[in-house]
Amino acid sequence: MQHYKNLKVIQRDLAAAKITCAGLVDFYLSNIAQSQETNAYLEVFEEEARQKAKELDQKIANGEKLGRLHGMVIAIKDVICYKNHKISASSNILSNFESLFSSTAVERILLEDAIIIGRTSCDEFAMGSTNENSAFGVVRNFDNLDKVPGGSSGGSAVAVQANTCLAALGSDTGGSVRQPASFCNVIGFKPTYGRISRHGLIAYASSFDQIGTLTQSVEDAALLLEIMAGKDDFDGTNSSKSVPKYSEALQEVSSDKEKKRIAYFKEALENEGLDAEIQQKTKELLAKLQSEGHTVEAVSFPYLDYLVPTYYILTTAEASSNLSRYDGIHYGHRSKDAKNMEATYRNSRTEAFGEEVKRRIMLGTFVLSSGYYDAYYSKAQKVRRLIHDYTRNIFKNFDFILTPTTPTPAFDIGDKEYQDPVSMYLADIYTVQANLVGIPAVSVPLSHHSNGMSFGVQLMADKFEESELLKFGKKLTL
């Protein structure tokens, strides 16, 4: 079977009876088996996927009306609830926990006949940039098994990279979709905060979290967004703005001669942590865009050094509270040697949370504690506001901000340099801004490093400007 990168092509071939859904599922299942050493999946819904494919093939044979995602085989990150299926957030604390409901995103793609093939590994509770923080083993980059796939949606990125599914859902709190997309040579897209309901997305940091997609084409990202986005009463922070036909907007891209205004941050490109090859390729891209007639201008961004600290103070604060519910009392792991209530909490959480999760809970607890709240949490909120206003202001004069997605290509599994959590956190420098501000951002593959690993480029747009963002993102992939 050919390597499909676009749902439209699959649907065309299904309609022409060149392939069947059952055949597609078999193909993806065999790819899963062949890429098992990546450890991308926590669970494969083999029987279910086959069954659903059979039903769809029957529908096609009967000439019944088909959902807009028919033929899409998709994997979901293990932080997105799917009714009557296990969900663990790659953590032992949710061992054997089954969700009683489906997230709004899953419900909406199922209604459009998507086939969910399995749930993918991630960093525990989406905390990490390497997918080494999963309680169920590290996930490996399919291009080079000694390299990390990035994180936290590493399993989803590898699942798409290894062509074990057409697309995957991830979640993006500070780059968790875009960074692994960059490392795995796929398209990673995070919509505006509030565009897709968070109902059924296990919370890491509530005011940052957003469901995103990992795909092999921008068209699929657009279609998935179109289907998942929109008002949902289960999420009070969800936007009620109407949902444009993103996928239709993309159809005009190849003939589109519109010139765009693109800003880049000098400080970001001259950042000493930035890999020289990535720097070079990004500069070349900017020059190319300029030569094509787009406005390309350097804009000063004085808050670059504050992005990562602000992000980590606020996300850990929210996480410390969001993860309080995993207490060993109501569900999930409960310590066997706890003799009273307090010990139940302490032992259950000590036993079942991983190191990175504990670190962030403690950090978050600290920044919220009395005596430190003003110096950390409250100050960080103010800085977030400054970053927000400054960034939004840039969009008064520009359509996009362009940055590298990551300062380096994928690093080695167990890389010593990143044993210090702070240096790991600093690698999030380009991606956290979109989450701090709540704007949409996409990472599209840019080039390959001399070490063989891919890397991407990131585009950010103003809130709810997904149509323009995806259109231009597609242009970059042409």
Partner 1 sequence: MDISKYETVIGLEIHVQLQTNSKIFAPDTNSFGAEPNTNISYITLGHPGTLPFANERIMEYAVKIGLATNCKIERHNRFARKNYFYADLPKGYQITQNLTPICYDGYLPIEVNGEVKKIGITRIHLEEDAGKSTHDQDPNYSLIDLNRAGTPLVEIVSEPDIRSADEAYQYVSDMRRIVRYLGISDADMEKGNLRCDVNISVMLKGAKEYGERVEVKNINSLRNVKRAIEFETKRQIKLVEKGVQVERQTRSFDASNGTTFSLRDKELAHDYRYFPEPDLPQMYVSEEYIAAIEAEMPTLPKALQDEFTQKLGLSAYDAGVLTDEKEMAAYFCEAIKHTDDYKAVVNWLMGPVKEYLNKNNADIGNFALLPKQLVELIHLIKDGQLSFSVAAQKLLPEWIEQPQMSALNLAKSLNLLMESDDDFIEEVIERVLQQFPDKVKAYQKGRKGMTGFFMGQIMKASKGKADPKLTNKLLAKKLKEVN
State which amino acid sits at residue 200: G
Least distance (Å) between residue 99 CB and partner 1: 7
Residue 201 carries which DSSP code? B
Beta-strand relationship, 441-448 and 187-190:
antiparallel
Give the count of beta carbons closer than 10 Å to the beta carbon of residue 382: 11
Kindly write out the interface string for residues 112-131 of this chain, putting x where it contacts partner 1 by CB under 8 A and - elsewhere.
--------------------
- For position 365 contacting partner 1 by CB under 8 A, the verdict is yes
Site for partner 1, residues 181 to 200, rule: CB under 8 A: 198-200
Cα–Cα distance measured from residue 436 to residue 452, given in angstroms and rounded to the nearest whole number: 32
Q: Which of 43, 256, 275, 327 binds partner 1 (CB under 8 A)?
A: 327
- For position 234 contacting partner 1 by CB under 8 A, the verdict is yes
Q: Which stretch binds partner 1 (CB under 8 A): 6-14, 214-222, 259-267, 314-322?
A: 314-322
Q: Is 152 a catalytic residue?
A: yes
- For position 362 contacting partner 1 by CB under 8 A, the verdict is no
- For position 331 contacting partner 1 by CB under 8 A, the verdict is yes
Name which of 390, 384, 402 is nearest 475 in CA terms: 402
Beta-strand relationship, 211-215 and 167-171:
antiparallel
- For position 375 contacting partner 1 by CB under 8 A, the verdict is no
Burial class for 176, CB neighbours closer than 10 Å (0-12, 13-18, 19+): buried
One of 152, 197, 320, 443 is an active-site residue; which one?
A: 152
Q: Is 176 a catalytic residue?
A: yes
Decide whether 295 or 321 has the Cβ nearer to partner 1: 321
Q: Which of 369, 393, 423, 477 binds partner 1 (CB under 8 A)?
A: 369
Decide whether 106 or 223 has the Cβ nearer to partner 1: 106
Residue 428 pairs in a beta bridge with: none
Please say whether the dihedral angle defined by the alpha carbons of residues 402, 408, 411 and 416, taken in this order, is positive or negative.
Answer: negative
Please say whether the beta carbons of 360 and 320 come within 8 A: yes
- For position 330 contacting partner 1 by CB under 8 A, the verdict is yes
CA distances to 16, 42, 90, 130, 394 from 420, in Å: 54, 27, 22, 13, 34
Binding site for partner 1 (CB under 8 A): 79-81, 87, 89, 94, 97, 99-101, 103, 198-203, 205-207, 233-237, 317-318, 320-321, 323-325, 327, 329-331, 341-342, 345, 365, 368-370, 373, 377
Catalytic residue annotation: 77, 152, 176
